[in-house]
Amino acid sequence: MSGFGHRFHRERIAGTIAVMALAIFSLTQCRMVEDRLTGVSVQQLNDREREGATHCIIQCQTIAAQAFIAEAQLVAANLKACNGDPACIQAENARHQAVVQTILINLRACIDSCHRQGGGDD
C-alpha cells in the first residue's frame, strides 16, 4: 500500500475518534426535562438524585472515552501489522466498526441505567 493509503487510514481513524469523542462529550450538555405526559416533574427530584445521575453519566462517558482510546491504539497497531494487505485491512476495519458499535451501545445502556425510568413509589 502506498504512503497515501496508510495516511488515509490514519486520518480516517483519527476522524472517527474525533467524532466519537465529540458525541460523548456533547452528552454532558443533555438536560432532563419535565415529563408532562405522566405529570411527573423533574422539580420533584431532590438535588442529591440529580447530582447522582450527573455523576453516573460522567462515569459512563469516561469509561466510553477510555474504551475509544484503547480501540484507537489497537486499530492503529493492527492496521500497521497488516502491512498493506487489503484482506487484512478490510478485516481489521470490520472488527473496528463492530467494536465501535459495541462501545456506543454500552455507553447508551450505561447512561440509561443512570436514570430511574418508569420507577417510583406511586
User: What value does the mean pLDDT take over residues 95-117?
Assistant: 89
pLDDT grade for 121, boundaries at 50, 70 and 90: very low
Residue 35 phi, psi (nearest 5): -100, 90
Say yes or no to pLDDT of 79 above 80.
Answer: yes
- Indicate the DSSP class of residue 67: H
Residue 119 has a pLDDT of 45
**Percent of the chain whose predicted confidence (pLDDT) is above 90:** 43
Do the Cβ atoms of 45 and 117 come closer than 8 Å?
Answer: no
Task: Return the C-alpha cell found at 122.
Answer: 406511586
For residues 104 and 34, the model is more confident at: 104
Q: How many CB atoms lie within 10 A of CB 75?
A: 23
